[in-house]
Amino acid sequence: MAHTEYVPIVNTKGDVIGKSLAIEAINYKNAYINPVIRIAVSTHGMLFLCDRPMTAILDKGKTDIPMECYLRFGESLSDGVTRLFNNAFPHVDQSIKPKFNIVYHFENEVTNRLIYLFIVDIEDDSILCSPRFKNSKLWSFKQIEENLDKGFFSSCFEEEYEHLKDVICIREKYKES
């Protein structure tokens, strides 16, 4: 039991109202809301996307942003982001930090989540060449838009795309000035 992991149960405002075994969060799908951290990677005005694992609960094999995990019970959002980022990029300069963007409630027939979306800007895109990210590549906004609403991307990514595009375009604009 020492390795039993719990995830918080939250309301749509993010207030913790209970906890459940992490394994039950998968089985109870829509019974309650669990917080999920997602981190998008931007480099040179493009998004880094990869295939979701075939073991994923939601949208198996669809193209998505590279990092996602449940927040653990008792873990701060900051600690959860650090855990997720360091797991994906264990040898990357620790000064690179994902930045919080939005929180939104996402529910469908498969899951019920409160999603905390972060974006990390990476200058050196060589760190993205990792066997951890299956079928990954950098996508331009034009390439993404040609494939939206065709069942190619994950449902969360489709929900987040316009926001991600706006934020990245603004950041790129101010990098140039």
Q: Which domains does the chain have, with CATH numbers?
A: 6-176 (3.90.79.10)
What pLDDT digit, counting tens, does each position of 72-99 carry?
999 999 999 999 999 988 877 777 899 9
Could you give the count of Cα atoms lying within 13 Å of 72 in the half-sphere of its Cβ? 12
Q: Between these two residues, 108 and 27, which has the higher pLDDT value?
A: 108
pLDDT of residue 135: 84
pLDDT of residue 2: 55
What pLDDT digit, counting tens, does each position of 117-157 carry?
999 998 888 888 877 777 899 999 999 999 999 999 999 99
**3-state SS assignment for residue 79:** helix
The phi and psi torsions of 173 (rounded to 5 degrees) equal -60, -45
Find out whether 137 and 65 touch, Cβ atoms under 8 Å: no
**Dihedral of the CA atoms 115, 100, 169, 60 (nearest 10)?**
-30
State yes or no: pLDDT of 1 exceeds 60.
Answer: no
Over residues 20-43, the mean pLDDT reads 86
Q: Between these two residues, 167 and 177, which has the higher pLDDT value?
A: 167
Query: Which residues lie across from 33 on neighbouring strands?
Result: 10
Q: Which two tokens stand for residue 63?
A: 């193209």
Share of the chain above pLDDT 90, in %: 61
Q: Between these two residues, 115 and 31, which has the higher pLDDT value?
A: 115
State yes or no: pLDDT of 116 exceeds 80.
Answer: yes
Per the prediction, the chain carries an average pLDDT of: 89
Over residues 60-70, the mean pLDDT reads 93
Q: Which two tokens stand for residue 76?
A: 């701060």
Share of the chain above pLDDT 70, in %: 96
Under the banding of pLDDT at 50, 70 and 90, the label for residue 29 is low
In the chain, the amino acid numbered 69 is: C
Pairing, β 6-10 against β 16-21? antiparallel
Under the banding of pLDDT at 50, 70 and 90, the label for residue 174 is confident
The phi and psi torsions of 22 (rounded to 5 degrees) equal -55, -40
Residue with tokens 């309301």: 11
CA end-to-end span of the chain, whole Å? Answer: 55
